[in-house]
Amino acid sequence: MRMLFYPCIAIPVFAIHAALPAHGEDAEEPQAAVQAVNAFASDLYGVLAAQQGNLLYSPYSLSSALGMTYAGAKGETACEMARTLSFAEDAALHASFKRLETALNESADECTLEIANALWAQEGYAFLDSYTDLVAQAYDAGLDTLDFESDPEGARETINAWVASRTNDLIQDLFPPGAIDPLTRLALANAVYFKGAWLAPFDAGLTKDAPFRLADGETVDAKMMQRTGPYRYGETEEAQVLELPYAGEGLAMTVVLPRAGRPLADVEQRIADDGLAVFLEAPRRAIEVRVAFPRFKMAAGFSLAQTLARMGMPLAFSDAADFSGMTGRDDLKISAVEHKACIDVTEEGTEAAAATGVSMIVKTIAREPKVFRADRPFVFAIRDRASGAVLFLGRVMDPRGD
């Protein structure tokens, strides 16, 4: 049975494409970003849910890293990314992202929520000030340099160490061996770390082994936490929906439990058809609820380049990509999108982390083919390739023969 959990509430993000609107405009509300990331979260869930077993990812982290990449996209490449990632193609989205990060930090309140973005460029490889200023302003992402050409492995270790340090060492080796190579010119990363205590912790003394029925009908023992108290609760045709708030009440975990006798596939189909909102908005009022909820811990990782290409943005990964908004040159394409996430849910609360990395390489340079036109006298040899021994040697002065 797959578990529909996110490191926090559905936390959203967005992208960038122009100067930020003036302070005080309506665009500074985060709702455009929220709508974008939640739509992408639903779309990606529909793709990833086809795999077997548990599933975990951070829509916020993915959208943030890809948003920094989208900031430099132009033309049809930008259009494909906008459609696939549910990014609005206007400047209001940029201010919405800026406002969202502020709103998330405010919501975290008594929880720990740390968000960080960064870029690393090849030494001596020039990027437009308009691009670096934009990601610095809207994503708070600084630009450092590394020597990908001469020391790609050292560069990979540097980036992975940064990710580990920003996620309390929960996310290790975000970029696997080979993801950074001598052709890399830019790497972008987002890291999210969350730790929050439940507003009403579970009593560890009440936790006990209890049966958990898997999707195939098999029953296994799970460490089931138990508590009775007031919780925001709701129901849909397919599921019961419970909201478990964290301390400060700004963040919460929403749990979507299929009704008895209905498969999780019904919930997943509703997400595919109507998005997450139908479930996220279901718990409208607080009532007394007897909760039994399993302790769980999981980690997941995805290489998403092919997935995103199939979802509708293949240009970004091809030699036809247009990221001229980054360098002023039509010379970069995305080579890899790496994502990792982990979560640990206990009686006290939740600790979770996620990170997304995007690497960009120089395109394959298309060269005119060499021309070999044998329209004049030539020498030829028939030889043994292994030993080099020439079996026949001759020349053609006139191909018509004697």
How much is the pLDDT for 11?
30
Residues 63 and 137 in one domain: yes
Q: In the chain, what is the straight-line distance between the N-terminal and C-terminal CA atoms, in Å?
A: 80
Residues 65 and 166 in one domain: yes
Domains contained in the chain, number: 2
Residue 369 lies in a domain: no
Residues 225 and 157 in one domain: no
Residues 221 and 183 in one domain: no
Residues 88 and 187 in one domain: yes
Residues 148 and 227 in one domain: no
Residue 393 lies in a domain: no
Give 92-107 pLDDT, tens digit per residue: 777 777 888 888 999 9
Q: Structure pTM?
A: 0.85
Give 23-49 pLDDT, tens digit per residue: 334 434 788 777 888 999 999 999 998
Each residue's pLDDT, cut to its tens digit, for the chain (402 residues) gives: 333 333 333 332 222 233 333 333 443 478 877 788 899 999 999 999 888 889 999 998 999 899 999 999 999 999 999 999 999 876 677 777 788 888 899 999 899 999 999 999 999 999 999 999 989 999 999 999 999 999 999 999 999 999 999 999 999 999 999 999 999 999 999 999 999 999 999 999 999 999 898 988 888 999 999 999 999 999 999 989 989 999 999 999 999 999 888 889 999 999 999 988 898 999 989 999 999 999 999 999 999 999 999 999 999 999 999 999 999 999 999 999 999 999 999 999 999 999 999 999 999 765 566 676 777 776 665 666 576 665 666 666 777 775
How much is the pLDDT for 4?
36
Residues 120 and 143 in one domain: yes
Q: Where are the alpha helices (DSSP H) in 71-184?
A: 75-85, 92-108, 129-139, 152-166
How much is the pLDDT for 388?
66
Residues 275 and 308 in one domain: no
Whether 32 and 89 have beta carbons less than 8 Å apart is answered as no
Domain limits for position 284: 204-294
Residues 133 and 235 in one domain: no
Residue 380 lies in a domain: no
How much is the pLDDT for 312?
97
How much is the pLDDT for 385?
59
How much is the pLDDT for 317?
97
DSSP strands (E only) in 276-377: 285-294, 296-303, 332-345, 349-362
Residue-by-residue DSSP string for 352-371: EEEEEEEEEEEPPPP-PPP-
Residue 40 lies in a domain: yes
Residue 339 lies in a domain: yes
